[in-house]
Amino acid sequence: MLSDSQWAHIAAEIVAAVGIAPHGDSDAVRWVAVRHADDHIHIVATLVRQDGETAWAWNERLKAQAAARDLEQRYGLYQVGPVDHTSHRRPTAAEQNKSRRQGRPEIARDRLRREVRAAAATATDEDDFVNRLQAAGVLVRLRHSTINPDEVTGYAVGLPDHHTDAGDTVWYGGGRLAPDLTLPRLRQRWTAGPGATPPDGSQRIGRSGVRHRTNAFRRATASATISASYFDAASPASGEEDIASLAEAAADLLASTVRAFEGRRSGPLTEASEAFDRAAREPRQRRPRHLHSEAGHLRAMSRLIAAVGRLTSNDDTAAALQLVLRMSMIANNLAEFREAQNSLHQAKAARLAAARLRMFASNTAADPLAPRFAAAPAPVVFERDHTKGHVL
């Protein structure tokens, strides 16, 4: 725990770094630091200097963050890391309040992000993506180019029962859900690669019983085991491209696994998957220039797992839990890789995902057939159209 004098030094360094109160400047603005907890302080400053001039800060956020990273290192504090634009959009206070007023079990933005990610993880192309969303009861609105009306440049999604006060559908563009869910990013994800097509007959497995479902999870576990070895052997100096494609594909496989356990309802495995999603995103959304062969196999397994449907017995649940444990191994290896990259936000997310996956596997193994969630409502299919609405 830092002392008052150490916090005072930190505050002085921050206001000096942003340029409103440089060291030794007696005419600088007046400021005060307030400490009412052990782990942070609040700094309040006027914006008029003692000589009457206005103190115009420039790039103060970046300067403050750079100073904070230096101070974290100097005092041996937990290093947060620079902003990397890998986090998804959080629900606003207004969205949370509206959800509570309407008695919704889940905020619309969170549900839509989960539905879009599940559809993206298993879709083979744009039409398949839209069809999967509509089958899940999600409204889809496509955005067309103003120059070429036949060209689709984006999309937005909404829920049939989520409206503005005026009665219009509330629409969320893909980028408003998560940075990797924009249409251009999804199109890159669907680009054909080795192993990108599910094995022959996978669409029939869902009707073939527990034995085939169990075998599907065993195949996926074998693929995840091979991928974990690539994560373990990679280094930032030579393996960034491979890890980028493998991590994204592993996130898709985990998204399909979540559906097998939890269906369309959010639960502890969903939380683990969301942490893994962030760990898998590249800082500032850099895209891998090539697809690792095993990434294609992971995506094929994602589609295979989606095809076999929900778990129904001890046997298929046990096989699925082995896959969850392999995914926790991948998350651990990814965390080490991110730490070597100095990508601290992703490393923390990967550690969190690994811990949650292990905990889920342990808790579920103790009682594999305990009811986890009520059955999801029957899906409603909506036609694709250009219904008026408000795009967030």
Cα gap 263→375, rounded to integer Å: 8
3-state class percentages of the chain: helix first, strand second, coil last, to nearest 5? 55, 10, 40
In the sheet with 139-144, reading across from the earlier edge strand, the strands are: 139-144, 152-158, 169-173, 389-391
Instruction: Residue 331: count other Cβ atoms within 10 Å of its Cβ.
Output: 29
Residue 44: predicted pLDDT: 93
Contact 152, 142 (CB under 8 A): yes
In the structure, what pLDDT confidence band is assigned to residue 367 with cuts at 50, 70 and 90? low
pLDDT band at 284 (very low <50, low <70, confident <90, very high): low
376, pLDDT greater than 90: no
pLDDT digits (tens, 9 = 90+) for 62-113: 788 888 878 888 888 766 655 555 555 666 677 777 777 877 777 888 899 9
Task: Pull the structure tokens for residue 386.
Answer: 């250009």
Beta bridge partners of 112: none
**What dihedral do alpha carbons 268, 273, 279, 283 form, nearest 10°?**
-120
State the Cα–Cα distance between residues 124 and 131, nearest whole angstrom.
11
Per-residue confidence (pLDDT) for residue 207, from 0 to 100: 45
pLDDT at 275 over 80: yes
Whether 373 shows a pLDDT value over 80: the answer reads no
Q: State residue 75's pLDDT score.
A: 82
**pLDDT tens digits along 24-66:** 999 999 999 999 888 889 999 998 999 999 988 788 877 888 8
Percent of the chain with pLDDT over 70: 82
Half-sphere exposure of 16 (CA within 13 A, CB side): 13
Distance CA 316, CA 312 (A): 7
Dihedral angle computed from the Cα positions of residues 147, 149, 153 and 154, in that order, rounded to the nearest 10 degrees: 130
Report how far apart, in Å, the C-alpha atoms of 68 and of each of 36, 45, 86, 230 are.
19, 18, 20, 34
Q: Looking at residue 86, what is its pLDDT?
A: 52
* CA separation for the pair 265, 170 (Å, rounded): 21
- 151-170 pLDDT, tens digit each: 999 999 999 988 888 889 99
Among 130, 252, 275, 233, CA closest to 195: 252
Give the pLDDT mean for 260-287. Answer: 86
Q: Which two tokens stand for residue 360?
A: 């889920």
pLDDT at 290: 66
Q: Which of 96-105, 265-274, 282-291 has the highest mean pLDDT?
A: 265-274
State yes or no: pLDDT of 264 exceeds 90. Answer: no
Residue 203 sits at φ, ψ, to 5 deg, of -70, -15
Band of pLDDT at residue 22, cut at 50, 70 and 90: very high
Q: Determine the Cα angle at 180 with ends 117 and 168, to 5°.
A: 65
pTM for the full predicted model: 0.70
Instruction: Using the predicted structure, report yes or no on whether residue 298 has a pLDDT greater than 90.
Output: yes
Per-chain mean pLDDT for the chain: 83
Place of tokens 């993880």: 121
Predicted local distance difference test score (pLDDT) of residue 92: 66
208-237 burial, b at 16+ Cβ within 10 Å, e below that, comes to eebebbbbbbebbbebbeebbebbeebeee
Looking at 151-267, list the stretches that DSSP marks H as alpha helix, in order from N- to C-terminal side. 174-177, 183-189, 202-205, 210-233, 240-262
Higher pLDDT, residue 236 or 148: 148
- pLDDT digits over 188-209, tens only? 888 745 444 554 444 444 445 6
Predicted pLDDT at 40: 87
Give residue 97's pLDDT.
76
127 against 392, higher pLDDT: 127
Give the pair of three-digit tokens for residue 190: 């669907």
Using pLDDT thresholds of 50, 70 and 90, give the confidence band for residue 233: confident
| Structure token digits, residue 177 | 């859900």
pLDDT at 358 over 60: yes
CA-based torsion, 23, 29, 35, 38: positive or negative: negative
By the 10 Å C-beta count (0-12 exposed, 13-18 middle, 19+ buried), 316 is classed as: buried
Distance between alpha carbon 249 and the CA centroid of its chain, in Å? Answer: 13
Strand (E) or helix (H) holding 34: strand 31-34
CA distance linking residue 335 with residue 93, whole number of Å? 31
